[in-house]
Amino acid sequence: MMIKEQGVFGVFSYIDSTVQAIKRLREAGYKNMRVFSPFPNHEIEEAMENRESIVRFFTLSGATLGALCGLTLTILTTLDWSIRVSAKPVVSLPPYMIFVFELTVLIGSLATLLGLLINSRLRRNVPRQIYDPRFSEDKFGVGVFCKIEDIKKVEEILKLSGADEVQFEGI
């Protein structure tokens, strides 16, 4: 099969060169980009202009579900074997609030973990080829998927921005 697109990526030592490369590539119209860094960085995040993470919706849904579970579990199980003691109400909400709170936190946290795993697409985020083990140590990476005829141009932008080296991967 003919390779129609190529992955080109630059390895950077400095944060400002990395940010510059991202900005230049975006200006040149390359939006299909992968940027790697050994730690989270606000400058990179701003330059990438990524949308706000939707993990928060997972958190909110999980927390709401947890609160509902806490309420229904306590109230329905109490009503299932309804015994009135000392003329007190059968369903006693104050102690049940503890379960509502604990389940809100429990299911909210698990949903957050799920949101992270699904949205980060861990295991299949990027093709195996575009990665260098140095990205988890001391280097930054900017990878672009482009048409074969654009390779030269991308390479130039990466080098002009200060890439230590530029590598190519077929996808």
Partner 1 sequence: MNQESTITYSKVNQDVIRMLDKPTAKWWSLFIFDLLVLSFGLMCFIYQIYSGLGVTGYRHPVFWAVYITNFVFWVGIAHSGTLISAILYLFRARFRMSIYRISEAMTVFAVLTAGLFPIIHLGRPWYFYWLLPYPNQRQLWVNFSSPLMWDVFAVGTYLTVSSVFFFVGMIPDIAAIRDRVKEVPRKILYSVLSLGWKGSAWEWGHYTRAYFYLAAFATPLVISVHSVVSWDFAMANVPGWHSTIFPPYFVAGAIFSGLAMVITLVVPIRKIFHLEEFITIANFEGMAKMIILTSLIVTYAYVVEVFMAWYSGNPYEWGQFIYRMKGDYALFYWIMIFCNSVVPLLLWFKKVRTNIKALFIISLFINIGMWFERFNIIVISLSHEFEPGAWGLYRVSWVELGITAGAFAWFFMFILIFIKTLPALSISEIKEIIPAPTREVKAK
Among 59, 67, 144, 145, the residue binding partner 1 under the rule CB under 8 A is: 59
**Amino acid occupying residue 75:** I
C-alpha to C-alpha distance for 104 and 78, rounded to whole angstroms:
20
- DSSP assigned state of 133: G
15-27 and 151-161 are packed helices; what angle lies between their axes, rounded to 10 degrees? 150
Query: Segment contacting partner 1 (CB under 8 A): 3-11, 23-31, 118-126, 144-152?
Result: 118-126
Which member of 31, 32, 38, 152 binds partner 1 (CB under 8 A)? 38
CA distance 43 to 59: 26
CB of 149 to partner 1, least distance (A): 26
Q: Is 77 in the site for partner 1 (CB under 8 A)?
A: yes
Residue with tokens 């530029």: 166
Between 49 and 148, name the residue whose CB sits nearer to partner 1. 49
| CB closer to partner 1, 3 vs 122 | 122
> Which member of 24, 162, 167, 169 binds partner 1 (CB under 8 A)?
162
Residues 6+ apart with CB under 8 A from 111: 58, 59, 61, 62, 63, 65
If DSSP codes are grouped into helix, strand and coil, which group holds residue 136?
Answer: helix
Phi, psi dihedrals of residue 30, rounded to the nearest 5°: -95, 105
Question: Binders of partner 1: how many residues, by CB under 8 A?
Answer: 62
Near partner 1 by CB under 8 A: residue from 5, 28, 64, 112: 112
Which residues of the chain form contacts with partner 1 (CB under 8 A)?
13-17, 34-41, 44-45, 48, 50, 52-53, 55-56, 59, 73-74, 77-78, 80-81, 92, 95-96, 98-99, 101-103, 105-106, 108-110, 112-113, 115-117, 119-126, 131, 133-138, 162
